[in-house]
Structure 1
Amino acid sequence: MTTPFPVLRLPYLVLMPILEQMEFMERITLSVLSKRARMFVKLLKMKCKHINLRLEYNTVKMNVCFDNDEELSVDMYTDRLKVNLKHGKDHISWWPGSLPPMDYVLPIMDVTHCKSIKKLIFPKVYEYDPAYDTTIPLLTKLPKVDEVIVEDFTSYIFSPDSPLRNVLRIILPVSSAVTISDHVRKPKYLREIFKGNFDAVNVQLLGDNDWRFPLNDLRKTNAKTLKLDSVAFKVEDLNLYFKLWMKKKCNPRLEYLSVRQEGNVNKNLLLKGLNAVPVPIETKRTFRISGNVEQLGWGERIVVEFDITRADRRQATIRIGTHGTVCFYVWPESTNDTTNLVPNQFSFMRRFSFSSTFYNSFIERFK
């Protein structure tokens, strides 16, 4: 029979060297036992690069990435009240008893000095999925989410019976970006998201290739960066949108727009009436874009590039790719700023207004 040793009652100068000698998994396991234990483990300054959360059926998967490329995987099972930790070849499992497994997310964020979730991923929407109800207490405590990704996005999530309606109502106000992929059945349900003050909105339509993104919806978008992957558009509509930008009658926050169509783009029709100035392809110029933006798809390259200028001297560049991609870059407002940077690979910076009418209308929809 072994006698428990009260390690946390040791003097600070004795306790800290002991914690420093512990294995990584031992530190994490100790940190979730109590607030006092977490306070001491936090002093070890185990900083992580980022944390991703993935909500699958009855499971919350947490992936913690560190600067040295090491990863900690935490699987929390909401139906079995079980937690699995895996770090390299080390693996620990335990049953926390009455403590909900999701309560381990915030302590781990705390001891790894992580202030936000980089990606919160919903792989699939299950009808009447009870797992969403069990994760709501966790989601209400998340301070910030850099990007919400809904991989299976249908009009069902906006119906009164959707298991995601309460989740999105909680998450969207603390999110900087939204990625919506897979079959969007009714685009009208996405318009409220397009109007939100997000840093970035990425829409990937993989279903109906005959669907066209309406000019009116494009005009009302409010994101700083907007990507419409695999979305066919009318060249005439995109030309009108650029003319509205010239007249300052569309999204004033826009920094980057990327759209695609099947086949080659009619350059003359796209640039009609814009007084576009051609730029030699060999000209080396880069642009400052907030957020994680991929410029072109696999195997695609820029064919032609043009500059357009508004009456207030604000400039923008239109680039046309080989596979029907049109990229629109808005230059910094200051005419003296010549240090435009290429779209970077850093996380989205949050610039969100809680007073947005979008969120008010979004919440009213589900009351």
Structure 2
Amino acid sequence: MASEVKAGDLLEGRYRILDTLGAGGMGTVYLAEHNLIKRRVAIKILHPELAIDANVVERFMNEARAAGTLGHPNIVESTDMGFTHEHVPYIVFEHLEGTLLTDEIYRVGGFSVRRSLWIAQQIASALHAAHNAGVIHRDLKSDNVFLTDRDEMLDHVKVLDFGISRFSQLSESDHKMVMGTPEYLAPEAITRPEAIDGRADIYALGVILYEMLAARRPFPSQDGDPKALLHRIVHDTPEPLNVPELPPALHDILFGKLLAKDPDERFPTMIEVESALDKFVTEKPTPMRRNRPQKTIDPFSVRPGTRTPVPVPVAARRRSWMPYGIAIGGVVIGLIGLIIGLTREPPATPCDCGDPKANVRSSH
């Protein structure tokens, strides 16, 4: 097995490893410095044991291609890529300082309508650029949105982790998989994963907007049962929002045009999402400096002393802020029986038989 990179190592004569920022299921992220120009960067190196899996390497390269070619101010920038001396691929990203959107939402207990709209518009702009380039993110979530400062402006968005993005046609194996993070999955991503398009990202943006306003997700994972969660996403209606300042028309857009079960009822494109949200923006946020800590935090520890009025969901506690997502981040669920079961209405009485499809149908 290939050895791990360590502080002091020099990658291809260009990047000096300074420190480890964190690790996840797909790779390890390091703080590094260009050996000549002394610019600090974040380097994501695929786990050596995964470098022999062609499908994993392809998804890793997807992230580099998306971040390196889209060229949008709200998408994390990839500036280089290469291979370690043991032929393990790595991606070089801009080094960001700030916080994950997830952490900020639950730190302050939800955002104002104005702040939520400002962030949602930037996400929509980033995904509009991606969709125009034929890229569907497929794992858009608050854990893959980073808030930083730019030109004195608070909450400049960077969309992260295009690791499972789709550039063209799905592979044969992908046709059989539900890919993404369950709480943000569009219903059709569960029932018809082969048919998803950019409207699945529009649904996920609706989940993020709901989450920013309510400090909870439309369908939170309550008991760790993915079958029950996916069943609720397909069949149930999200809890109404209790946000007095939310304009009724914006409420209707959120529930009727972003979180609609039927993709045909959603906005067809992200540019239309941007335009619809812009009608509710009376002014841009006032330029100001972020007044929260921006130091590196152990990504696998509970952060003592953090003001958290609302409990952070389990998924959000997995890591603190990073330059971008470390792992594929999503859950890949290859259960064809589960998908079939979710397309049917549950029976009136639960079935306690051993058929997994029946169990899914009765999980509601």
TM-score band by shorter chain is: under 0.3
The structure whose residues are more often helix, as a share, is 2
Highest relative contact order (Cα 8 Å, sep 6+), 1 or 2?
2
- Which one has a bigger Cα radius of gyration? 1
The structure whose residues are more often strand, as a share, is 1
TM-score of the superposition, structure 1-length normalised?
A: 0.25
